[in-house]
Structure 1
């Protein structure tokens, strides 16, 4: 009996060693030159995971924070990936929308694809411009009715949103989705601004209300007031946990923090750092460098009277 247990133990140890060897070989191959891309990120793009807050710093991990571009009209629901792009990715998108065709659309299996992430480029500048316009409109309305508490609070909220966009929000946005890595890289050749990451695409279908443009109450029956919105969403499991090497743990612990600001809608706590993150042959990221940075000179959010 003891010999049987010994054989099982040896087999288990061999299996564990084999798995670890495969993982380490994959990591080594991913980090071979040349790098696919390298981005200079900050705490705005590298968010906290559970391990971030652990008192026991035997393991520290950050996640790559990115977002999808905003819709100019945010009154309606829009999927992250349009129906047209889903068709390009190989999904069957029905032209006639009804319960049966939407049901078939939802049954399609997830697909592997690639996301292009843009750092501090035109997509981010558009986000800032949208907040600038929203703030200007809120101020215009507030000035038109100076005694309105509701409009004053809305203007303050818009000011806070603009401040957050300019100084705290991630500058990393999805600008494209595709299947062909070479074609995407040819389209986005700047490897210091554009990173390509692996993703899993899944279908999405929602019923959304359509606007009534006529006068008075909407006379349409309920089944004509709604339409189907088809599209998709993406997950990127490969960028959810970026382990910080132990040699930078002490630096991370001693990082300066963002000062608390008055009259804002978000917490002031945030460690300030600059980090180089490289993406390798398997499009998996890892830390190349980490250093502390000082807070930029921020314009304080003016409280709207």
Structure 2
């Protein structure tokens, strides 16, 4: 069966790009559609020879972090391209209160190609965090508790209203506070892979490559002392790259300014990546933990891990900038 035809400008993997100021680390949206072009390896290579994302993923990537849940994945397509390009799948699992990664990459694995699946966004942890931290009014809290027992539809509507009020940055806050093991495992996997492989690339992705991916990339950039403006602009760039051809910036602004319907998630707003969301996320980390280094200690990516990451992920021209920025985190 031949691979489907593809126009010259068609993107198979959306939002694909090198993460700003990070060595050998790329970010992108879902990679599943690569499976449409992988029924035959040689044929796939021929049909995608001018596709930058496909070439890097197929030929250079050694570690791919897939931050999605199983329900967000097209398993048939994913398995097809991974099998044809000799990727082994590892799955992260929570281990009680341990913050140690289940990713045991070592020198013996230097030639393995690995897709490491880490479910960073847990709806249950998000909703538990919501109930504990975002409902202050006693009447609202009583209504929420009642609905959680007797009225699942009402509970869903209340949750959507709260998410709309908190916005994207609220979701990031919840993930940062409740997905500590997952985020630490992602950082440790990147570090150990780069330590053991001097040339292979790392790909970090979720569904759109902006939210869960954005948090992991932000933490990597923060460890290196990259300035906030660069982090914010790298995050915001997803909004332009993911925008549909028929959408203009003005159209997106109008949609986002519209008041969401009560009980309905404002999906249009959650599809964008406004600068304000990352600005508030960085502010939250410093407000809640004092410094981003303190937050990294909190999730188990301590000073010794950060020093290892600095050794292998630092760009050559960043030495002075890193030393200047460390004290500010």
TM bucket normalised to smaller: under 0.3
Higher normalized strand content (fraction of residues)? 1
TM-score (norm 1): 0.26
Higher Cα radius of gyration: 1
